[in-house]
């Protein structure tokens, strides 16, 4: 293999830039020619492909987002569109493709590999940490740290005013952002989609907390675990308290990546190139017990993500 390309796809995540840098520099170091694809599969189909050198990835390790940009490209679900994309790579002589994204992006990568013979390697880049085969995805650590910053600030003002803070965080169907930030931020409650909860029971616990003098209570609510307005109404009705809702939104997707995400980025990017050079295709990179692993895309996607119930128990017992 002499030439490879790299793209970012789906929602952006802090650490994507650091990972692009790691993959590009590793590939150049090993004598490969490297191309960047702008706007994910959209750019692959529309030929937004440019040659990269070592300077192309200068001054990006610390930046959130992805300088290659990203997009959601519905047309890529069509085989004819994937053929156009593959032809654009073949015209340049590119044989290997690194895809940084989530499970949707990996599905697209597998299809273009199976149908068009492009060697693909996926790197998990999403703040959601919703892929079962890897302990962590790129961007999760930074997103949780952003939530922690918000919890700290909200706790200050909620304590001053004897209020309840209901903080809605991202994660799609996965409660990891909520659970990790609740444990590390000392929140009283974490509401996640994977575990059923009884909001009246929680409201009564808050009422008891207030009766014994604990006036400020923090609840971290994962998206997909309930409606914040309805939850706040039940708590207000039972605990007779002031509940302030804060939806953190896309602030969680940006920001300078943490040390943990930069280290993951370096290790994932490096391993992706080694996998391509050893002739592998349909592989995804991950981390298990602090060891970098790579496994078949289909096998990786067949694993079902579960919440860590031990962590959930810890969260409940520490509140
Ligand atoms: P993520 O990669 O974060 O899960 P998406 O699910 O939005 O994000 O997928 C990103 C892109 O991957 C989509 O816009 C599309 O181009 C491609 N993709 C997703 N699912 C498929 C699929 N079933 N077949 C082909 N391409 C897909
Ligand atoms: O997958 C990352 C994520 O931020 C999810 O947590 C969230 O549900 C979704 O993307 C938001 O997508 P968009 O940026 O398209 O609003």
Identify the sign of the CA torsion 151, 157, 158, 159: positive
Pick the closest to residue 167 from 25, 149, 69 (CA basis): 149
Mean pLDDT of 275-296: 97
Does the structure show a pLDDT above 90 at 83?
yes
Q: Which two tokens stand for residue 204?
A: 């009564």
- Domain end, chosen from 214, 230, 253, is at 253
Segment holding 247, helix H or strand E:
strand 243-247
Is 244 in a helix, a strand, or coil? strand
Which residue's CA is the nearest one to ligand 2's atom 13?
Answer: 11
Q: Is the CB of 124 under 6 A from ligand 1?
A: no
Query: Do 67 and 126 sit in the same domain of this protein?
Result: yes
Return the ligand number nearest the Cα of 254: 2
> How far is it, in rounded angstroms, from Cα 136 to Cα 127?
9
- Domain end, chosen from 196, 223, 253, is at 253
Residue 292: give the domain boundaries. Answer: 3-139+257-302
Tokens 């890897």 correspond to 134
Query: Do 128 and 181 sit in the same domain of this protein?
Result: no
- Can you give the pLDDT at residue 319? 83
Query: Do 246 and 198 sit in the same domain of this protein?
Result: yes
Q: Give the CATH number for residue 209.
A: 3.40.50.460
Q: Which two tokens stand for residue 227?
A: 């409606």
Does the structure show a pLDDT above 90 at 267?
yes
Residue 57 lies in a domain: yes
* Whether 114 is catalytic: no
Q: Which residues line ligand 2 (CB under 6 A)?
A: 11, 126-128, 170-172, 223, 253
Query: Do 229 and 244 sit in the same domain of this protein?
Result: yes
- Can you give the pLDDT at residue 266? 98
Query: Do 96 and 150 sit in the same domain of this protein?
Result: no
Residue 184 CB contacts under 8 Å (≥ 6 apart), including other chains: 144, 148
pLDDT in tens, 109-165: 999 999 999 999 999 999 999 999 999 999 999 999 999 999 999 999 999 999 999
Which residue's CA is the nearest one to ligand 1's atom 26?
Answer: 108
pLDDT in tens, 298-307: 999 999 999 9
Task: Tell me how crowded residue 245 is: count the other CB atoms within 10 A of its CB.
Answer: 15
Query: Do 98 and 36 sit in the same domain of this protein?
Result: yes
Residue 29 CB contacts under 8 Å (≥ 6 apart), including other chains: none
Query: Do 126 and 195 sit in the same domain of this protein?
Result: no
Domain count, the chain: 2
Residue 130 lies in a domain: yes
Mean pLDDT of 78-105: 98
Query: Do 283 and 150 sit in the same domain of this protein?
Result: no
Q: Give the CATH number for residue 31.
A: 3.40.50.450
Residue 219 lies in a domain: yes
Query: Do 36 and 86 sit in the same domain of this protein?
Result: yes
Burial class (CB in 10 A: 0-12, 13-18, 19+), 249: exposed
**Catalytically annotated residue among 12, 103, 128, 176:** 128
Write down how long the chain is: 319
- Can you give the pLDDT at residue 32? 98
- Can you give the pLDDT at residue 194? 98
- Can you give the pLDDT at residue 102? 96
Query: Do 125 and 270 sit in the same domain of this protein?
Result: yes
Residue 127 lies in a domain: yes
Residue 51 lies in a domain: yes
Query: Do 227 and 279 sit in the same domain of this protein?
Result: no
Query: Do 188 and 115 sit in the same domain of this protein?
Result: no
């Amino acid at each position: 293999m002499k030439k490879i390309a790299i793209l970012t796809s789906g929602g952006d995540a802090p650490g994507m830039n650091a990972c692009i840098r790691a993959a590009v520099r590793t590939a150049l170091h090993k004598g490969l020619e490297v191309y960047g694809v702008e706007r994910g599969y959209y750019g692959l189909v529309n030929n937004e492909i440019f040659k990269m050198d070592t300077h192309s990835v200068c001054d990006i390790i610390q930046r959130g987002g992805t300088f290659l940009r990203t997009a959601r490209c519905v047309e890529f679900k069509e085989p004819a569109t994937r053929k156009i994309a593959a032809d654009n790579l073949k015209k340049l002589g590119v044989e290997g493709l690194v895809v940084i994204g989530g499970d949707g992006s990996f599905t697209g990568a597998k299809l273009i590999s199976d149908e068009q013979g492009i060697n693909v390697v996926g790197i998990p880049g999403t703040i959601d940490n919703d892929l079962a085969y890897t302990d962590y995805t790129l961007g999760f650590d930074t997103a949780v740290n952003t939530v922690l910053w918000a919890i700290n600030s909200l706790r200050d003002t909620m304590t001053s005013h004897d209020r309840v803070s209901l903080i809605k965080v991202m994660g799609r169907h996965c409660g990891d952002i909520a659970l990790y930030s609740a444990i590390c931020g000392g929140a009283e409650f974490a509401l996640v989609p994977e575990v059923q909860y009884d909001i009246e029971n929680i409201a009564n616990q808050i009422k008891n907390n207030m009766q014994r003098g604990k006036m400020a209570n923090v609840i971290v609510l994962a998206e997909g675990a309930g409606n914040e307005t309805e939850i706040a109404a039940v708590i207000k009705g039972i605990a007779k308290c002031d509940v302030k809702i804060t939806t953190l939104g896309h602030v969680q997707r940006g920001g300078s990546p943490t040390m943990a995400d930069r280290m993951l980025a370096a290790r994932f990017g490096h391993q992706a190139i080694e996998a391509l050079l050893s002739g592998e295709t349909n592989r995804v990179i991950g981390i298990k017990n602090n060891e970098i692993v790579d496994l078949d895309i289909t096998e990786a996607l067949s694993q079902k993500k579960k919440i860590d119930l031990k962590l959930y128990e810890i969260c409940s017992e520490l509140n």
